[in-house]
Amino acid sequence: MKLALETRALGKTFKVKEKQAGLRGSLKSLFAPQWKEKTAVDRIDLSVSAGETVALLGPNGAGKSTTIKMLTGILHPTAGEATVAGLVPWRERTKLAYRIGTVFGQKSQLWYHLPPVDTFELISRVYELDRVDYARRRDRLVERFELGPYMHTPVRKLSLGERMRCEIAASFLHRPQILFLDEPTLGLDVVVKERIREIIRERNREEETTVFLTSHDAGDVERLCSRAIVIHHGGVLLDRPVALLRRELLSGKTITVTLADAEDPASVAEWFGRRAWSPMPEGVELAAIEGRRIRLAIDLARTDMNELLASLTQAARIADLTVEDPTLEDIIKHIYGMEKTKGGEPT
């Protein structure tokens, strides 16, 4: 299969000035600065096939954004090699820019005081799009991304979700072969996140756009990507198909049950042990009891959610119930633990 991107021992280090606290430290640093080399990306090897949807995951400071910036030609690496769409990003940046699209959650390409329609027009000139083709493409994207009501509203008056939809649509205008997204769902509510994932998935399906995204959100991985690469401390910790990852790691959910007022808070713990389940069903662990609230850790690989909820509602009158995904930090901690127990330090 044709490769969309490949890296070999790609690395990036930054020189960071180290300063002791306080004024004395500042004065010392002024005359005798101390520099430390910080490894942001530690010689990683990646290979992504055309049409794949890949998530690059990791906690803050893991090197996700630095990796994406090297792959898009924004940053020059200090070690290793990379080709993206057949080009070396930092040497053939201009040519590459026609073949890729970028969405940086924190850095907007839309003009703040102008409606998106004006920025779309400018972008069409940036990518030198044929006028007829551009108009057709813009109208199609406006329809698919449901941007009609916002296209003539200044960006400053759009909600974050509306703005992100415009950002992503803008990045598709020139039909990129590869779309790089850096935290595209950061700060968005559940409904908007889901809509954004859906439209990216649709573009991937219809135009075979390769999607390479960084995220903090396990939901982005589950619902959008076919493969996940977890990086930690600049190196690749895990590279696995999401289906496998889901079975192994994303099957964990947390259910928080708030019992109705009629239940006596003081005896909830006793009640739980005595009446709820005895013994505890397989794949369910009692994580905590706080007042009338009970938190259960569920492994969906071993427990059926429907049966579990039916059993819970039979056992007690429930005032509220929430189901949460594990946080990415929890997943990474889990992976880290797994790799350690496999033998030695994780690679």
**What three-state secondary structure class fits 167?**
helix
Find the binder of other proteins among 3, 50, 74, 79 (CB under 8 A).
Answer: 74
Min CB(85)–other proteins separation in Å? 13
In eight-state DSSP terms, residue 156 is G
Q: Give the residue carrying structure tokens 């429907």.
A: 306
- Of 131 and 274, which CB lies nearer to other proteins in the complex structure? 131
Beta-sheet strand order (sheet of 252-259): 284-290, 293-299, 252-259, 318-324
**What three-state secondary structure class fits 343?**
coil
200's tokens? 């990216």
Min CB(208)–other proteins separation in Å? 21
Min CB(76)–other proteins separation in Å? 5
Q: Does 90 bind other proteins (CB under 8 A)?
A: yes
Can you say how many angstroms the Cα of residue 106 is from the centroid of all Cα atoms in its chain?
13
How many C-beta atoms lie closer than 10 Å to residue 170's C-beta?
Answer: 24
Q: Does 36 bind other proteins (CB under 8 A)?
A: no
Q: Does 334 bind other proteins (CB under 8 A)?
A: no
In eight-state DSSP terms, residue 327 is P
Q: Does 121 bind other proteins (CB under 8 A)?
A: yes
- Pick the stretch among 68-76, 136-144, 253-261, 296-304 that binds other proteins (CB under 8 A): 68-76
Q: Does 100 bind other proteins (CB under 8 A)?
A: yes
Phi/psi at 241 (nearest 5 deg)? -65, 145
User: Residue 98 and residue 174: Cα distance in Å, rounded?
Assistant: 7
How many C-beta atoms lie closer than 10 Å to residue 305's C-beta?
Answer: 12
Min CB(100)–other proteins separation in Å? 8
Find the binder of other proteins among 13, 39, 83, 109 (CB under 8 A).
Answer: 109
Site string for other proteins, 137-166 (x = CB under 8 A): -----------------xx-----------
- Pick the stretch among 87-95, 189-197, 215-223, 228-236 that binds other proteins (CB under 8 A): 87-95
Which residue, 116, 106, 40, is CA-closest to 78? 40
- Of 155 and 335, which CB lies nearer to other proteins in the complex structure? 155
- Pick the stretch among 48-56, 96-104, 255-263, 295-303 that binds other proteins (CB under 8 A): 96-104
Strand partners for 38: 14
Applying the rule CB under 8 A, the residues between 2 and 21 that interact with other proteins are 14
Find the binder of other proteins among 3, 88, 126, 338 (CB under 8 A).
Answer: 126
Min CB(175)–other proteins separation in Å? 14
Q: Does 104 bind other proteins (CB under 8 A)?
A: yes
- Pick the stretch among 89-97, 198-206, 221-229, 271-279 that binds other proteins (CB under 8 A): 89-97
Which residue, 306, 238, 235, 184, is CA-closest to 44? 235
Q: Which residues are within 8 A (CB) of 284 and not within 5 positions of it... i.e. 6 or more apart? A: 277, 296, 297, 298, 299, 303, 308
Report, in angstroms and rounded to the nearest whole number, the Rg of the chain calculated over CA atoms: 24
Min CB(196)–other proteins separation in Å? 19
User: Residue 24 and residue 76: Cα distance in Å, rounded?
Assistant: 35
Min CB(227)–other proteins separation in Å? 23
Find the binder of other proteins among 30, 94, 206, 282 (CB under 8 A).
Answer: 94
Is 173:109 a contact under the CB 8 Å cutoff? no
Pairing relationship of beta strands 252-259 and 210-215 according to DSSP bridges: unpaired
Binding site for other proteins (CB under 8 A): 14, 65-66, 69, 72-76, 90, 93-95, 97-98, 100, 102, 104, 106-114, 118-119, 121-122, 124-128, 154-155
